[in-house]
Amino acid sequence: MTGIKTTGEKKLMLFSGRAHPELAKEVAAELGVGLVPTKAQDFANGEIYVRFQESVRGADCFLMQSHTAPINKWIMEQLIMLDALKRASARSISVIIPFYGYARQDKKHRGREPISARLMADLLKTAGADRIITMDLHADQVQGYFDGPVDHLFALPVLTNYIGSRVDREKLTVVSPDAGRVRVADRWADRLAAPLAIVHKRRDPDVANQVTVHEVVGNVKDRVCVLVDDMIDTGGTICAAADALFANGASDVIVAATHGVLSGPATDRLKNSRVSEVIFTNSLPTPGEVALDKITVLSMAPTIARAVREVFEDGSVTSLFEGDA
């Protein structure tokens, strides 16, 4: 006989960067494991140092980091953690990115522009990632930028189950805030068995570079409208769409999005809007100053944990969403 036999037992290890440790702790609790102790610190000049305090040799490693502000710092930390795992002889490395940074830069609109979403995928691969687990990408084609398996999770079941339990479905209309989100809104409409409407933005020829007219395609009069999007950044588009719905006779407007980026004036816009409720997932940490009564945050930890378990046990991640997405 040649060679050496081993027991063949697999080992799952879960790691977290410093961007959103609360979500990582929830996922760890769902899996029944502890987060691997990690020393991470910033040097005086801003450089990041990382060291794992347990051996990772031969382990299937899952590294969580959501790309929140300051986004470039947390992306760099994730790349450094990947490099450390690769050099420590991890058996496999899966990165869990609930919110994938730069996903909106998925193509060139004009000459001399980057395709930053592709650059992100290249950086992750070069640093040592074997697989990406992410959620509700801004554009589906970003999955094809990574040279390896990509598991694309959906918040649709969690969000629709919540809304379906709180709103009279007979009065419900799903609304896309612009033409680019129609496909997402259509999935929502199918899931909730509700009609679909679209807010169409038109530009006033007398006002340069400004959207001044919002036309609503579909019947929203006396309806409870659910505006759906993948993310809310500054809140301008979603609040303008809500105003258009109320102007067309909507009785109530609820906003639902997977990622609450909430940059700049977003908090004030949501606070001062007529929207009755804004629903996010915890894919990103919600800033403390956004503690508004109308904001609801739903946990995606059970979904992420189930996906991790399926990957670790060589199961099917797709089976988690069959019939939902």
Is residue 232 a contact partner of residue 257, using CB atoms and an 8 Å limit? Answer: yes
| DSSP annotation of 35 | B
CA atoms of 317 and 312, how far apart (whole Å): 10
Six-digit token string for 247: 């102007």
d(C-alpha 154, C-alpha 190), whole Å? 15
Angle between helix 182-192 and 156-166 (nearest 10): 50
Catalytic site residue 201?
Answer: yes
At residue 6, the 3 state secondary structure works out as coil
Using the Cα atoms of residue 132, residue 138, residue 143 and residue 146 in order, give the sign of their dihedral. negative
Cα 191-245-158 angle, rounded to 5 deg? 25
| Catalytic option among 73, 125, 201, 271 | 201
Name the token pair of 217. Answer: 């395609």
Name 198's bridge partners: 176, 217
Whether the CB-CB separation of 220 and 245 falls below 8 Å is answered with: yes
Q: Nearest Cα to 199, choosing from 222, 224, 170, 228?
A: 228
Return the beta strands (E) in the chain as ranges.
12-16, 38-42, 48-52, 60-64, 92-97, 131-135, 150-153, 172-176, 196-203, 211-217, 224-232, 252-260, 277-281, 295-298
Q: How far is CA 146 from CA 150, 204, 224, 248, in A?
A: 7, 40, 40, 43
Instruction: Find the length of the chain.
Output: 325
Q: What amino acid occupies position 30?
A: E
- Catalogue the active-site residues: 201
